[in-house]
Amino acid sequence: MSDLETFRRETRAWLEANCPPEMRRPMTSENDTYWGGRNAKFSSEPQRVWFERMRDKGWTVPDWPKEYGGGGLSPAEHKVLREEMAAMGARAPLSSFGIWMLGPALLKYGTEAQKQEHLPKIAAGLIRWCQGYSEPNAGSDLASLQTRAESDGDDYIINGQKIWTSYANYADWIFCLVRTDPTAKKHDGISFILFDMASKGVSTKPILLISGYSPFCETFFDNVRVPKSNVVGQVNRGWDVAKYLLQHERAMISGTGERGIGRPLGQVAADSVGSDDSGRLDDAILRSQIAAFDIDEAAFAAVAERAVDLAKAGQSHPAFSSAMKYYGTELNKRRHEILMSAGGIDALEWESERSRGGARPRAWLRTKANSIEGGTSEVMLGIVAKRILDLPGA
Amino acid sequence: MALVLTEEQSMLRDSARGLISDKAPVSHLRHLRDSKDETGFSRDLWKAFAEMGFSGLLVPENFGGSGLGYVEAGVVMEEIGRTLMPSPFLSTAVLAASALSRGGSEAQKSAHLPKIADGSLLAALAIDEGTKHRPLQTKLQAVRSGNGFKLNGAKALVVDGHTADLLIVAGRTGGAPGERNGLTLFLVDPKSKGVAIERTVMVDAHNAARIEFSNVEVNADQVLGEVDQGGALLDGLLNIGRGAVASEMVGLSEEVFGRTVTYLKERKQFGKLIGEFQALQHRAAQLYIDIEITRAAVLKALQTLDGDFDHAGAAVAVAKARAGTTATLAVQEGVQMHGGMGMTDQFDIGFFMKRARVCQESFGDSNYHADQLARMKNY
């Protein structure tokens, strides 16, 4: 038996023994996600148990080095772990922008001191991070951002405003893009800096969205003092770090949605719409739409698997995450349009107990942000056209 | 298994690409069409294919082949798709070789497989009857007669049927059209009494025939597999054909796309390269993404055929459906973005559009496979 087969067998046995049954069911609400942080609370005992067991193995971040609290798994072992978790429907023990976005950037650009300070706390779920990128006048054109960091001895004094900062009101620290050289060309005067959201001068204000929820905030900085040693990478070269991190963000968003888990979409629709005498969904056009969706979803799962394998083989294009982000988010929006159509009148209720507080329409509305956040679909297509297809003047 | 080609598979791709792009660029197909070539493909080139080991790629080693898998067959099909080379590779090396090695008796294998491997035997699969691909609707009657059967009926879209030395024919020995039970496959000599073959010149200038069977006598030795139980064997063969044609469509799509992107970087209007216009950039980017996704889905299907043959149905349906829609989009965008030039016969792009249409219809189009997937998923 190969080492990998042994690893698979042992991993499966460990997961079987340690993943509580409650943690093997599809998530149904925001409460089912554990984000960690200074003020974190577990929504259930199984959630706590599952998190702690995974943390102790380093499997909140399976592929990070052990010295930073990771599991030290090879890419092949990490794939096996993901496959085995998916096979039993095991939930992620910890969700975190620190894991998905900041961690990879720190591993590549951080100093040893920065890695030692921040990575273990991310792995252990002790610090919850948020991302300070977009500003009111810097959305798709992110590099025109204006939040400024002015030198004052060993510190910077930061002033300005961010927007669409996910969960800023719950976050402990922020990774933030600031302008350190206002005279340079727009891409060349930006730095990537880390600071505590409890610092004096930081305030947040949630934004009410069409879903009725407020996952995003406006974030204000009023003379916030931050040590210069908190800059990641070189001063004024923050755009390199920002772009690298965006690749990871886009990969994360492209994976949004509960693909392949739980009841097949066609059967969810049949539950509400009904079936004809030969067992076919009793809405021929909806049935076609679902079948077309299922084909594209299965194909997308294949390309997601292939993207990882190509990266391992050193054959992937760095801008491919933009392609994945574009398609994955458009697909997720299609899924929720179908769910709304299948749900019919029942999917229109907003508050009732029977609709779980309007879970379906709220989720549907939330997905409309997928093709905007982290770079719009149009920006993604522009990146593919320019960086992969090498089309002129893009 | 990693969803990328292995080193050996990449080497196979390179050698297939070298031979095909050198000996059979699109001008090869154009010449065969314009000269109204009787055979419709190059026998010399088929000999070269045999010498490279491609004709025996799926033939087991003990019958003179190289015993490779469906991923490797797909690799060659993809290269064929890039230049639209007409070749018996699909009919003979993929489908007939698979039919015989999966369903044949030892005697049938020994009689035919070595000849497929050495390039001396051409074969064709005769399945479709109606306007659309509906294998379970097979009506061709096979009635017991003496020690064998008498065949009566008609087949359409028999790829390479006009040059075949051996026909593999799906008939009904029992059950009613629509039923899986009662299907039987037969090995038929096309020179048998009662076989009438009409070569059908096709829109894509590739090769096919309509074949009528009038009281054609076959003996019991000519049954491939079990009488009445041919449904499962046929399902498997069709899935192999679907995977192969999907690969051809990936190659075709990528080639059309590459030519189109090149054109966007050369053609000037309004004082600009047309590739600078965002309307075209975004469409090109979407098509690129579609092709990459389809490529992954097709490789997944081929790997599943190699690794878990009996459970490959869903992956194959996904691959054939995706390949059909992607190729259709690729050729439409290809013609549109080439503007008026795309409409001319002098330009190659139209050949790709025509071939894509035939590939769509072969072994079930995108609609057929979407419906199949919905049935598999019970809705």
Give the CA distances from residue A301 to residues A253, A262, B77, B179, in Å, rounded to whole numbers and listed in that order: 14, 15, 24, 33
Size of interface A-B (CB pairs under 8 A): 138
Termini Cα distance of chain B: 31
Task: Please report, to the nearest 10 degrees, the dihedral formed by the alpha carbons of residues B95, B98, B103, B105 taken in order.
Answer: 110
Confidence band, pLDDT 50/70/90 cuts, at residue A158: very high
Task: Please report, to the nearest 10 degrees, the dihedral formed by the alpha carbons of residues B336, B341, B344, B349 taken in order.
Answer: -60
Distance CA A318, CA B237 (A): 39
Q: What is the pLDDT of residue A261?
A: 55
Closest Cα in chain B to A271: B379
Contact between A385 and B3 using a beta-carbon 8 Å cutoff: no
Contact B181, B228 (CB under 8 A): yes
Which of B96, B121, B146 delimits the end of a domain? B121
Answer whether A113 touches B (CB < 8 Å).
no
Q: Which CATH number fits domain A3-95: 1.10.3470, 3.30.70, 1.10.540, 3.30.420?
A: 1.10.540
Same domain, B208 and B173: yes
Distance CA B301, CA B284 (A): 26
Residues B174-187 pLDDT 10s: 999 999 999 999 99
Task: Please report, to the nearest 10 degrees, the dihedral formed by the alpha carbons of residues A112, A118, A119, A125 taken in order.
Answer: 170
- Nearest-CA distance A97 → chain B (Å): 27
Which of B2, B299, B377 lies at the smallest CB-CB distance from A264? B377
Distance CA B207, CA A104 (A): 54
Give the CA distances from residue B50 to residues B56, B116, B245, in Å, rounded to whole numbers and listed in that order: 7, 9, 20
Give me the phi and psi of A72, to 5 degrees please. 65, 25
Which of B265, B288, B299 lies at the smallest CB-CB distance from A392? B265
Contact between A382 and B371 using a beta-carbon 8 Å cutoff: no
Contact between B286 and A381 using a beta-carbon 8 Å cutoff: yes
- Domain made up of A255-388: CATH architecture: Up-down Bundle (1.20)
Which of A291, A323, A382 lies at the smallest CB-CB distance from B370? A291
Max Cα-Cα span within chain A: 78
Contact between B281 and A287 using a beta-carbon 8 Å cutoff: no
Confidence band, pLDDT 50/70/90 cuts, at residue A257: low
Contact between A393 and B272 using a beta-carbon 8 Å cutoff: yes
Give a yes or no: residue B1 inside a domain.
no
Q: What is the pLDDT of residue B60?
A: 98
How many residues are there in chain B? 379
Which of B210, B229, B248 delimits the end of a domain? B229
Residues B331-371 pLDDT 10s: 999 999 999 999 999 999 999 999 999 999 999 999 999 99
Same domain, B142 and B208: yes
Q: What is the pLDDT of residue A5?
A: 92
Contact B142, B155 (CB under 8 A): no
Type of residue found at B158 = V
The CATH class, in words, for A129-237 is: mainly beta
Q: What is the pLDDT of residue A26?
A: 82
Closest Cα in chain B to A324: B289
Domain coordinates in residue numbering, chain A = 3-95, 129-237, 255-388
- Nearest-CA distance A11 → chain B (Å): 18
Mutation pick from A254, A294, A326 vs chain B, by most beta carbons of B within 10 Å, is: A294
Distance CA B296, CA B254 (A): 13
Type of residue found at B366 = S
Same domain, B154 and B99: no
Mutation pick from A381, A387, A388 vs chain B, by most beta carbons of B within 10 Å, is: A381
Contact between B377 and A266 using a beta-carbon 8 Å cutoff: yes
Q: Which residues contact A110 (CB under 8 A, 6 or more apart)?
A: A118, A232
CATH number for the domain including B82? 1.10.540.10
Distance CA B360, CA B69 (A): 23
Contact between B4 and A310 using a beta-carbon 8 Å cutoff: yes
Contact between B2 and A309 using a beta-carbon 8 Å cutoff: yes
Q: What is the pLDDT of residue A1?
A: 63
Taking any CB pair shorter than 8 Å as contact, residues of chain B touching chain A are 2-4, 261, 264-265, 272-273, 275-276, 278, 281-282, 284-286, 288-289, 292-297, 299-300, 314-315, 317-319, 321-322, 369-371, 373-374, 377-379
Same domain, B184 and B212: yes
Type of residue found at A143 = A
- Nearest-CA distance A43 → chain B (Å): 34
Contact between A312 and B282 using a beta-carbon 8 Å cutoff: no
Type of residue found at B83 = T
- Nearest-CA distance B207 → chain A (Å): 30
With 70 as the cut, is the pLDDT of residue A262 above it? no
Residues of A in contact with B297 (CB under 8 A): 298-299, 302-303
Give me the phi and psi of B148, to 5 degrees please. -145, -140
Give the CA distances from residue A266 to residues A275, A282, A318, in Å, rounded to whole numbers and listed in that order: 10, 11, 35
Same domain, B15 and B73: yes
As for the ipTM of the complex, it is: 0.95
Give a yes or no: residue B179 inside a domain.
yes
CATH number for the domain including B275? 1.20.140.10
Same domain, B95 and B142: no
Contact between A382 and B261 using a beta-carbon 8 Å cutoff: no
Determine the structural domain holding residue B304 and report its residue range.
231-376
- Known catalytic residues of A are 249
Contact between A298 and B318 using a beta-carbon 8 Å cutoff: yes
Please give the helix or strand (H or E) that residue B263 lies within, else none: helix B230-264
pLDDT < 50 stretches in chain B: none
Distance CA B177, CA B180 (A): 8
Looking at residue A128, what DSSP letter applies?
-
pTM of the model: 0.92
Which of B196, B229, B262 delimits the end of a domain? B229
- Nearest-CA distance A209 → chain B (Å): 29
Give a yes or no: residue B192 inside a domain.
yes
Contact between A291 and B371 using a beta-carbon 8 Å cutoff: yes
Give a yes or no: residue B2 inside a domain.
no
Residues of A in contact with B250 (CB under 8 A): none
Q: Which residues contact B129 (CB under 8 A, 6 or more apart)?
A: B137, B138, B139, B140, B153, B154, B155, B156
Same domain, B129 and B107: no
Give a yes or no: residue B187 inside a domain.
yes
Give a yes or no: residue B171 inside a domain.
yes
Distance CA B317, CA B329 (A): 18
Closest Cα in chain B to A80: B1
Same domain, B15 and B106: yes
Mutation pick from A254, A268, A286, A306 vs chain B, by most beta carbons of B within 10 Å, is: A306
- Nearest-CA distance A158 → chain B (Å): 37
Confidence band, pLDDT 50/70/90 cuts, at residue A260: low
Q: What tokens were used for B230?
A: 């041919």
Please give the helix or strand (H or E) that residue A173 lies within, else none: strand A173-179
Confidence band, pLDDT 50/70/90 cuts, at residue A247: confident
Same domain, B306 and B290: yes
Strands A148-152 vs B223-224: parallel, antiparallel or unpaired: unpaired
- Nearest-CA distance B161 → chain A (Å): 32
Q: What is the pLDDT of residue A249?
A: 84
Contact B196, B209 (CB under 8 A): no
Answer whether A32 touches B (CB < 8 Å).
no
H runs (alpha helix) in chain B: 7-23, 26-34, 43-51, 70-83, 97-103, 106-117, 230-264, 278-307, 313-337, 349-361, 366-376
Same domain, B153 and B224: yes
- Nearest-CA distance A143 → chain B (Å): 20
Q: Total structural domains in chain B? A: 3
Burial of A368 (0-12, 13-18, 19+ CB in 10 A): middle
Answer whether A313 touches B (CB < 8 Å).
yes
Same domain, B282 and B354: yes
Answer whether A268 touches B (CB < 8 Å).
no
Contact between B282 and A378 using a beta-carbon 8 Å cutoff: yes
Q: What is the pLDDT of residue B269?
A: 96
CATH number for the domain including B217? 2.40.110.10
Q: Average pLDDT in the A87-111 region?
A: 94
Contact B379, B148 (CB under 8 A): no
Contact between B374 and A382 using a beta-carbon 8 Å cutoff: no
Answer whether A394 touches B (CB < 8 Å).
yes
Q: What is the pLDDT of residue A259?
A: 53
Contact B139, B148 (CB under 8 A): no
Same domain, B193 and B235: no
